[in-house]
A = this chain, B = another copy of it.
Amino acid sequence: MIPYGGADDPLLHGGDLAAARRLFPGAPEPFVDLSTGINPNPYPLPRFPTALFIRLPQAAAASLLAETAARAYGAPSAAHVVPAPGTQILLPLVAGLVRPGHAAILTPSYSEYSRAAVLAGHNVKMVRGINECGDATLVIVGNPNNPDGRLLSRATLLALAQDLRRRDGVLVIDEAFMDVGPPGASLAAEVPCGNVVVLRSFGKFFGVAGIRLGFAIAAPTLAERLGASLGPWAVSGPALGVGAKALADADWIERTRKRLEKAAMRLDTMLTAAGLSIVGGTNLFRLTHTLAANALFRHLGRAGIFVRAFPDNANWLRFGLPANARHWQRLDAAIASFRDR
């Protein structure tokens, strides 16, 4: 297999347990994986009928999924929704909606944004603020942002989109963590303005990252182009099977939002008590700052707890949510023993 550029760096993305084991060969098992921002308590998996695995994904099921997603995310209609096998695969495609030119990416950000923009032929400039976008015709922002949780207001984003429209530019808003964002902050309903593409991730909030499901929400002309690039049968049978059910389950969604909020607060308490500063985050992860980040990363790793370090930011560590009482306990004990070294 050809790793995409940099896939062999276990610090570039979270979630690779084999990499964790290579880094910390003597660590106690099972590893507690806090290296991602994925809900560790997944949506209850349905029994998947065998037909979902063996038959070609059915067009009617894909349409139902798009309709349900439109309602769940607040998109104007199913014609504005493009289901895909994960948002990852959509990134180069949305970057390719604009002719190669200048792309501005708000930093810090998910490393895949710049990679996708470069793949689509753009010159990428990493910018600290919206006002530095200059003559960019492609702007990609995470909202809320990973890893720091930065949240841009609707007004700011709509003004940016309007500015981009003057030079035929496109604004891509990755709302991968908007499921746990403040109500009303999503731009999904605003895509009819024509040059805004919203990305939504299914796997993170619903805790089923393995099935690969994500969505682009955009004006029908752009949605059509993205759908054409993916072609028929883009979303697998199992993803169709759980996607529409979960996105329509308003009770589970509401309960889970509350549960994740509580868990994130509990994590804050634990981390600040240990002397870490909370830089930001979302209710699926917290970004911390500490001068001892490197030592703590290795201390936790040796205790079988894998968190996310940042090659470009030596003082940052990102913590996902522990899955259960035992994991909370192990994190607590590992942090305490670090303090008492």
Task: Write the nearest CB–CB distance from A284 to chain B, whole angstroms.
Answer: 14
- A231 engages B112 (CB within 8 Å): yes
Interface assignment of A91: CB less than 8 Å from any CB of chain B: yes
Residue from B16, B52, B234, B238 in contact with A59 in the complex, judged by beta carbons closer than 8 Å: B16
Q: How far is the CA of A57 from the CA of B88 in the complex (A)?
A: 13
Q: What is the interface size of chain A, counting residues whose CB is below 8 A from a CB of the partner?
A: 74
**Known contacts A85-B234, A234-B85: A3-B212 contact under CB 8 Å:** no
Interface assignment of A83: CB less than 8 Å from any CB of chain B: yes
Residue from B18, B51, B54, B59 in contact with A7 in the complex, judged by beta carbons closer than 8 Å: B59
Q: How far is the CA of A86 from the CA of B51 in the complex (A)?
A: 17
Instruction: Collect the chain B residues with CB atoms within 8 Å of residue A242's CB.
Output: 53
For the A-B complex with A16-B56, A17-B58, A53-B208 known, give 17 more contacts whose Cβ atoms are closer than 8 Å: A1-B62, A2-B223, A4-B228, A17-B55, A19-B59, A45-B50, A51-B210, A53-B210, A54-B210, A85-B85, A88-B234, A89-B234, A112-B232, A116-B231, A211-B238, A212-B233, A236-B238
Q: How far is the CA of A53 from the CA of B230 in the complex (A)?
A: 22
- A1 engages B227 (CB within 8 Å): yes
- B81 engages A1 (CB within 8 Å): yes
Q: How far is the CA of A16 from the CA of B16 in the complex (A)?
A: 37
Within 8 A of B (CB), among A184-241: 203, 207-212, 220, 223-224, 226-239
10 tightest A-B CB contacts, nearest first: A210-B237, A1-B66, A2-B227, A15-B56, A18-B60, A212-B236, A85-B85, A88-B231, A56-B209, A53-B210
Q: Write the chain B residue with the least CB distance to A209.
A: B56
- A231 engages B4 (CB within 8 Å): yes
Interface assignment of A123: CB less than 8 Å from any CB of chain B: no
